[in-house]
Amino acid sequence: MDRIILHSDCNCFYASVECLYRPELRDKPVAVGGDEKARHGIVLAKNYIAKRYGINTGETLWQARLKCPGLVVIKPDFKKYMRFSKLAREIYLDFTDMVEPFGLDEAWLDCTGSAGILGSGMEAAEKISRRIKKELGITVSIGVSWNKIYAKLGSDYKKPDAITEFNRCNYRSLIFPLPVENLLYVGRAHKKRLRLLNIDTIGKLALSDREFLYKHFGKWGYVLHAFANGLDIEPVKKYSSSADIKSVGNSFTTPRDLTGDSEVFTALAVLSESVGARLREAGIKGGVVGIHVRDSGLFSFERQRKLKLYTDINDEILNEAYSLFRESCSWEKPVRSIGVRVSDIVQADVPVQLDIFSNESQRDKRHKLDMALDSIRNRFGQKAVVRGTELVDRTLCAVSPKTDNVIFPTAYFR
């Protein structure tokens, strides 16, 4: 018996929630965007009226206004969005405990075990859709299938307020003609490489030779081939309000473009201290440090490196991040935004293999110093104690990444 997997996607989530609080805007083009004065002026979400003007998530607000001069821009209120996300998940949990969130506005549900009570996948989807609309005042698009990848395709297939089922009888006729980039995890780079191989639809990917794909994509060739053919067997995870932490990171658009290594070092210091503090606060350490850099021409790159020892020490995170930047940045254009991330997470008290060449006594002193700084900052504010480098440029260091977190819609990263 096939599984019954649903994927529910709240339509224009941020904008829909805002229009609930301001009903006079429902018939106007609306975008939720950042603070332009702080150089955070991008579209985080938009309603369908704004979408008809060609406005895209992730583009700058000034570009959006050129397309739609009457665009209404609302600053984001993430507490509101998190509240509605929680309310939506509470509705999902009335149908199954197998609920796996995918960002604030999306979730997979495995309703296989409750089919005897709820009926078919389509029946369960219709009940969920009605409840979301009645109880929350927003709409969802839901995909129904026997696997997570096709269910996600279904929720994207028809919007807004729609339900689409991809089953064993219709998936070839409905899915195979779709553009290959519609498949989850086929990003910009994979799309370009696939199209160079004349693979521009999901059907062509599904019918391609597995070994041919492996030759060009390594193990990801097998994965993409399986996804295209509906052979995804990944289970929907059981819902937990305290999901496992996969990585800890912070990034920000700098108050002005950075033009030299010393300015980047200062920005990385601010970010590394934020990431280190969040790791210690959660009682975890990381084994991989990564950076994300975007220049003034909006070209971006990411780099990461495995550490010899798991860490939550500010200086170790900073030194590795700065080393990655120095090795990777050619300074063709000034840096506009930058981020630091620590992944490969373990609990802080998990025994780990020591390095014979490391000075554990010195590392322990640094850790205790960071803990003391955390205590001072928690009591007197994040800027109560700062590095000397931060005093050189107070404008650059005015940001507090630990407290000024931005939650982007999942679609922003795709």
Q: How do the residues of the chain divide into helix, strand and coil, expressed in percent and rounded to 5? A: 45, 20, 35
pLDDT digits (tens, 9 = 90+) for 217-236: 999 999 999 999 999 999 99
Pair 384, 377: CB distance under 8 Å:
yes
**What is the secondary structure of 308-346 as a DSSP string?**
EEEE--HHHHHHHHHHHHHHH---SS-EEEEEEEEEEEE
The length of the chain is 414
pLDDT digits (tens, 9 = 90+) for 228-287: 999 999 999 888 755 467 788 888 888 888 999 989 999 999 999 999 999 998 889 999
SS3 363: helix
Beta strands in 75-145 (DSSP E): 99-101, 106-110, 140-145
Amino acid at 11: N
CB-based contacts of 216, cutoff 8 Å, min separation 6 = 193, 197
The rounded distance, in Å, linking the Cα atoms of 151 and 67 is 33
Q: Which of 403, 389, 289 is nearest to 340 (CA)?
A: 289
Q: Which residues are marked as active site?
A: 106
- Cis bond leading into 235, ω under 30°? no
Beta strands in 11-132 (DSSP E): 30-33, 43-46, 72-74, 99-101, 106-110
Rg (CA), the chain: 23
Beta strands in 60-212 (DSSP E): 72-74, 99-101, 106-110, 140-145, 163-165
Q: What is the pLDDT of residue 34?
A: 74
Pair 6, 108: CB distance under 8 Å:
yes
Amino acid at 146: W
Pair 172, 151: CB distance under 8 Å:
no
Q: What is the pLDDT of residue 114?
A: 87
Predicted confidence (pLDDT) at residue 165 exceeds the cutoff of 90: yes
Residue 83 has which token pair? Answer: 């509240």
Q: Are strands 72-74 and 30-33 parallel, antiparallel or unpaired?
A: parallel
pLDDT digits (tens, 9 = 90+) for 307-353: 989 999 999 999 999 999 999 988 989 998 899 999 988 888 777 66
The rounded distance, in Å, linking the Cα atoms of 117 and 134 is 22
